Amino acid sequence: MTHTYSVPDISCQHCVDSITTEVSKVDGVTNVNVDLDAKTVAVDGGDDAEIISAIDEAGFDVAS
């Protein structure tokens, strides 16, 4: 199952790399795709709450 999150503060490749690194650590995650232009993060697998926590750990807020 793919979870998609809106992360409006994404602004550069460093942001993409930080989010990808943190979310990839979540158990069950098989793929992370950060779209810089759309400011979204699409994640295959993993637990929703843990993914949001990982995005937060990377320094970003998920829009509600």
pLDDT digits (tens, 9 = 90+) for 4-15: 999 999 999 999
> What CATH code would you report for 2-57?
3.30.70.100
> What is the domain partition of the chain in residue ranges?
2-57
Question: Is the pLDDT assigned to residue 54 strictly greater than 90?
Answer: yes
Task: Give the tens place of pLDDT for each residue, 24-34.
Answer: 999 999 999 99
pLDDT bracket for residue 51 (50, 70, 90): very high
Give CA 24 to chain center in angstroms: 9
Q: CB within 8 A of 17, min separation 6: which ones?
A: none
State if pTM tops 0.85: yes
- Edge-first strand order for the sheet with 31-35 is 2-6, 40-44, 31-35
